[in-house]
Structure 1
Amino acid sequence: MNFDLASQPEIIQRGAAYAVQGWDIAKGWLMSPAAWSQFGLLLAAFLLAWLLTRRLRPAMERLLTPPAGRSSLLATLRRFLLVFVPLLLPLLAFAFTAIGEQATRAVFGTGAVIAFGKRLFLLLAARILVREIVTDGFLKLLGRVILLPVMALYALGLLDVATARLNEMTVSLGNIEFTVMAVIRGVIAGAILFWLGRWSNDQTGSYISKQDQMRPATRQLAAKAAEFTIFAVAFFLLLNIVGIPLTSLAVLSGAIGVGLGFGLQKIASNYISGVILLLEGQATVGDFVELDNGMAGTIVQTTARAMILETYDGRWIVVPNEDFITTRVINYSDQGSTNRYEVPFSVSYDTDINRVPPIIEAAVATHPDVLDDPFPPDCELRGFGDSGVEFAVEFWVAGIDDGRHKYSSDVGFLIWNALRDNGIEIPYPHRVVELRQPAET
């Protein structure tokens, strides 16, 4: 059949040419004894691979499944290999088809049909890989959007044609010119590199966090340095893959420098302040701090720009790192140091005040969290008030008197009970009112 497509768009003419070419190839295969032989070899290779898979797969699954609870290197390797067992059928079919292709080319001098079947088995392997083996959402998306279409083009023998066509198309960006193929290659490589960077960063961070012999601040600094190094290497590898020379980044570097000097100076200041904090270890995750402006909370997360404090009422406060450098910060934790608190009280003027200190000190010492080191509880006379004699008991604890810890409240109860048990009165204000009658006249 001949159709006049001269008046049609170029894309339709090109598609029709490919369709005619495909029809000619298919017709040649259907009428060729060599093609029928290759079809038979393909069917035989698939059946043999299917039979072997039925026998080998259960044995391989038993061999590669480690005992429950094992976490050794060998057990981890066996679990890793077990994941790829579903690829056994297409890979065996591919191997048998490759052997059949060599025999077909030796006998008939051609192997186009069996080569096409071999590529189809590779496409089947890629489909199983994406659907059944890959579990990461990002990699699964890459497989569906990129790997499967590429393998389909390869199976149809159109991959070289598509690659050549994409290499002819160019995209200009200022003085830099790219081919569409370079852009696609850069997107694919960038996605894979930065996924690998994220995975490597997670593994490195997990390893560093387990090094208990390192100070917390040192672990955080090492994790941040590893993160910066990993993504910097990924970025420069991507530039090399895309083909962008580093000299072309001079203008971009100058623009970034101007931005840092003006609009981004606060961000740069906070980033540098964060590095200083990690180096000096002044404040780290888990410390309870109070800033000069009255904000207080436990540091739950550190970022390149800020530290996040969690207050005891459940709120999160984002504090720029610069504030920890330029303002006064009280660190109540300081990597587990103890803190001193005091509870004031008063007794009646009728009391023998010499009895009060030993009674209160003994009562407060019974609290399980009150420490004897650096100092035991100390009851001091503070003054003589309007209603009673004023005392205060000082005590040391290894924690913060807030949140789930109620040290001052517990000590207050101990003081009340101790004074009551010893018959000591806690005074309250009294007022004497004098009524004068007017003089009689």
Structure 2
Amino acid sequence: MEDNPFIQKMLSYGEQGWELALSWLTSPAAWSQFALLLVAFGLAWLLSRRINRALRGLLTPAEDADNLLATARRFVLRFLPLMLPLLAYVFTAVGEQVVRSMFDSGAVIAFGKRVFLFLAARILVQRVITDPFLKLLGKFVLIPIAAIYALGLLDTVSEALTEFQVGVGNISFSLMSLVRGLIAGSLLFWLGRWSNDQSAAMISKQRELRPATRQLAVKTVEIIIFGAAFLLLMNIMGISLTSLAVLGGAIGVGLGFGLQKIASNFISGVILLLEGQATVGDFVELDGGEAGTIVKMTARAIILETYDGRWIVVPNEDFIVTRVINYSDQGSANRYEAEFSVSYDTDINTVPAIVEAAVQGHPDVLEEPYPADCELRGFGDSGIDFSVEFWVNGIDDGRHKYTSDVLFLIWNALKDNGIQIPYPHRVVEFKGEMPK
């Protein structure tokens, strides 16, 4: 076990650390630097208390304030816990310059300065950052890096990671590039997601644009943001885009045959957004019988919500290659019919005027493009059949029950005018004597 190179290296680092600690304990210059560290920390503590008290009184907004200025002031207040370690870092840096000019040595105070920076990183993660992803990244990335820097081993660790090379095909990069890429990729992913959410919210507020145009703008911005983030990440990792293009081309040819449907649905989604024939909020019915309100349009599919609360995921391609009935395209009106019958004893010449007046009294029945129209449809077995046509802005289902309302109006109007609605009658003839 003593022959293990890693253990030998750790033992040598331990011996160097012990010798360094002994030299600090027996050196007058080291004791003076310890004293300066205590003075710098005490001065930073006193000054930070005064500054924090003044800034809190100046920047704290009213509890019910929710404007942009109040939000900015609350954001600044979140960083006040960093005041103490940062002031200690600044005062220690000044003291380091003084010590180096006097003793030509500043290892102790430089170590203290790095410790204050580590404390600042720890406070930043624990008390300042609120985003769960950034807090997780700070806990497992920022704090360990700050700890390694505080121990003075950052250059050693960086050299070891840089020397370790990783190769994939024609692409070769160091382990340091991989670590740097993971850190940068995580930050770019969070920044891309945040900027995409902000841009989507801003575009959604532009009510002068058609819903389809807004959806297309949101998708375009999303592609631009994450495309730029990917290119920037490749540059940070030091990967040649030429080599990546060759590798990507080979993978693309292999996966292209299996991803034809995905590509078709993506292109179909772009076409739908450009044409605007279907957008969020429209009630549509597909050739296969699926019907519902469009609640979401993604790069691959459109999600319909039926009136019984189910969500149906329909591939974008189905909206291109099959027939689609859009009942609410640009808010156009829809026509419905309500059928009813009257008794044969009725003067049918009076029925249309009575029913049309009653139906037109409904607040949602339109005058344009046509008012309510009552038509004679036929002479049935039990009564005379009529039908009234009416136009409304909306769908006769879900929250709106236009046909039901119209039938109530017809019933009440006919009853008020003494017109009977028949029920089935049957005439039975007996030949010969009546049965006993």
TM-score bin (small chain): over 0.9
| TM-score (norm. length: structure 2) | 0.97
Aligned residue in 2 for 1:63: 58
Q: Distance in 2 between matches of 1:93 and 1:399?
A: 67
Q: 1:8 aligns with which of 3, 6, 16?
A: 3
Distance in 1, matches of 2:251 and 2:167, equals 22
**Alpha-carbon deviations, 1:164-198, whole Å to 9, x = none?**
11111122212322211111011111111111111
Seq. identity, %: 70
Mapping of residues 307-386 of structure 1, within 5 Å: 307-386=302-381
Q: 1:259–1:30: structure 2 CA closer, same or farther, 3 Å change rule?
A: same
Preserved CA contact (<8 Å) 2:24 2:108: yes
1:434 matched to which residue of 2?
A: 429
1:150 aligns with 2:145: yes
- Given the alignment of the two structures, is residue 76 of structure 1 paired with residue 71 of structure 2, yes or no? yes
- 2:97 paired with 1:102: yes
Q: Find the residue that maps to 1:225 and give its secondary structure.
A: helix
The letter of the residue matching 2:371 is P
Of 374, 397, 403 in structure 1, the residue corresponding to residue 398 of structure 2 is 403
What is the Cα deviation at residue 258 of structure 1? Answer: 2.4
Counterpart check, 1:415 vs 2:415: no
Distance change (3 Å), C-alpha of 1:270 and 1:123: same
Extract unaligned runs of 5+ from structure 1: none
Amino acid in structure 2 at the alignment position of 1:94 = Y
Asked if 1:141 corresponds to 2:116, the answer is no
Retained in 1: the 8 A contact 2:173–2:239?
A: no
Q: Deviations over 1:283-302 (max 9, x none)?
A: 00000000011110000001
Q: Distance in 2 between matches of 1:261 and 1:127?
A: 47
Q: Once the 2 structures are TM-superposed, how far is the Cα of residue 68 of structure 1 from its aligned partner?
A: 4.0
What is the rounded CA distance, in whole Å, between the counterparts of 2:390 and 2:106 in structure 1? 90
TM-superposed CA distance for 1:90, in Å, is 0.5
Please show how residues 248-287 of structure 1 align to structure 2 within 5 Å. 248-259=243-254, 261-287=256-282
* Distance in structure 1 (CA, Å) of the matches to 2:256 and 2:269: 19
Unaligned 5+ runs, structure 2: none
Q: Check whether the contact 2:171–2:244 (CA below 8 A) recurs between aligned residues.
A: no
1:167 aligns with 2:156: no
Quote the residue 1:193 is aligned against: 188
Q: Work out whether 1:179 is the aligned partner of 2:178.
A: no
Q: Distance in 2 between matches of 1:98 and 1:288?
A: 67
CA drift at 1:259:
4.5
Counterpart amino acid of residue 55 in structure 2: M
Q: Structure 2 residue aligned with 1:111, among 89, 106, 114?
A: 106
In structure 1, how many angstroms separate the alpha carbons of the residues matched to 2:363 and 2:148? 74
SS of the aligned residue for 2:317 comes to: helix
User: Which deviates further from its counterpart, 321-330 or 77-86?
Assistant: 77-86
Cα separation, 2, equivalents of 1:93 and 1:63: 23
Q: Give me the CA root mean square deviation.
A: 1.5
Q: Retained in 2: the 8 A contact 1:260–1:268?
A: no
CA distance in 2, matches of 1:396, 1:432: 40
1:61 CA displacement: 1.3
Deviation at 1:341, TM superposition (A): 0.7
| Paired residue secondary structure (2:355) | helix
Tell me if the contact between 1:348 and 1:427 (Cα under 8 Å) persists in the aligned partners: yes
Q: CA deviation at 1:56?
A: 1.6
Distance in 1 separating the partners of 2:262 and 2:255: 8
1:285–1:300 contact (8 Å) kept in structure 2? yes
2-structure distance, mates of 1:399, 1:297: 13
Distance verdict in 2 for CA 1:41–1:165, change over 3 Å: same
Give the Cα separation in 1 of the matches to 2:80 and 2:330. 50
**CA displacement at 1:135 relative to structure 2:** 0.8
1:73 Cα deviation from its structure 2 partner: 4.3
Deviation track 1:27-67 (CA, whole Å, cap 9, x = no partner) reads 00000111111101100111111111222212111212233
- CA distance in 2 between partners of 1:405 and 1:72 (Å): 39
Query: In the alignment, does 2:43 pair up with 1:48?
Result: yes
The within-5 A match list for 1:25-40 is: 25-40=20-35
Cα distance, 1:254 vs. partner?
2.4
SS in 2 for 1:372: coil
Residue 100 of structure 1 aligns to a residue in which SS? helix
Matched, 1:298 2:293: yes
Deviation at 1:71, TM superposition (A): 4.7
